[in-house]
Amino acid sequence: MKLNIVPARTGALWVKLGVQTFARQPLALAGLFFMFLSVMSVASLLPWIGNALALAILPGATLGLMAATREASKGKFPMPSILVSAFRAGRQRARAMLVLGVLYAMGFLLVLGISALVDGGSFAQLYLAGGTLTREMILAPEFQYAMWVAMGLYLPLSLLFWHAPALVHWHGISPVKSLFFSLVACMKNFWAFTVFGLVWLAVFMTVGLVIAVLAGSLGSPGLLASIMFPAAMLMAAMFFTSIYFTFRDSFVAPEAEGDTP
């Protein structure tokens, strides 16, 4: 395995490949994404340990979506069982993925714990226990500070785990080393990931604007609400599809992967 440094324009290519691959197998990839959301939602409903369990299985479930994208990019139809492929690659790989999940859950809960020091736990409680986000809550300075602190701390956490599941599953890297390699790869390809994020932001905003203009021109505000949510879900599915290509092009191991970046 060798780190591959890509130009900034590759970030836009990742978005394009994600959309194109999703278009090849829209029903399969959309269905797997909704299964992914369902598993996370059901796990979070368990008393006491629900949210922590959902966080712990997130890396493995994300790897399942990446594996599905890999199959779709080869012209194959990804079956539902591929969503749990992270836990079917042998006992050692499954154990490593579980360790990675525990580390992610601990890191995320630590981020929420630090944010609780700012606003007394209102933001963290809203995420963990649910509830209604009121106007007064949004306008509260402490809540806003906690939100920005959580977002600022989650960024490095996401970089640590961006490539980690794939490194553990496809390269057999230990969980701790995979975090290091993931962070290094993201930082070395900083501009490509910046373009990747900006292009996806532009895509989401453009789709939202088009739907809003369409609903306004038809004089049907209800149409906006009925279309916006499923459109956002499909866009999120395309985003997760594109994640695989950020990994594929960031590491070179054609003899092991069978893929040439």
The full set of domain ranges for the chain reads 2-257
**Rounded distance between C-alpha atoms, residue 128 and residue 217, angstroms:** 39
**Which whole-number Å values give the CA distances from 99 to 93, 94, 102, 123, 133, in the listed order?**
10, 9, 5, 27, 33
Please state, rounded to an integer, the average pLDDT across all residues of the chain. Answer: 89
pLDDT in tens, 203-225: 999 998 888 888 777 776 676 67
Residue 256 has pLDDT above 80, yes or no: no
**Average pLDDT, integer, range 228-249:** 93
What pLDDT score was predicted for residue 258? Answer: 44
Query: Which of 246 and 259 is assigned the larger pLDDT?
Result: 246
Closest CA to 231 of 208, 197, 259: 208
What pLDDT score was predicted for residue 254? Answer: 53
Residue 149 has pLDDT above 90, yes or no: yes
What pLDDT score was predicted for residue 21? Answer: 96
**Average pLDDT, integer, range 254-260:** 46
Q: Which two tokens stand for residue 176?
A: 């701790």
What is the sign of the dihedral through the CA atoms of 86, 89, 93 and 99? positive
Query: Which of 131 and 240 is assigned the larger pLDDT?
Result: 240
Predicted TM-score of the model (pTM): 0.89
Contacts of 225 (CB under 8 A, 6+ apart): none
Query: What's the gap between Cα 229 and its chain centre?
Result: 18
What pLDDT score was predicted for residue 255? Answer: 52
**Average pLDDT, integer, range 40-66:** 90
Residue 259 has pLDDT above 60, yes or no: no
Q: Say if residues 193 and 186 touch (Cβ distance below 8 Å).
A: yes
Residue type, 208: G
Residue 253 has pLDDT above 70, yes or no: no
What pLDDT score was predicted for residue 125? Answer: 85
Closest CA to 157 of 107, 200, 85: 107
**Average pLDDT, integer, range 104-113:** 95
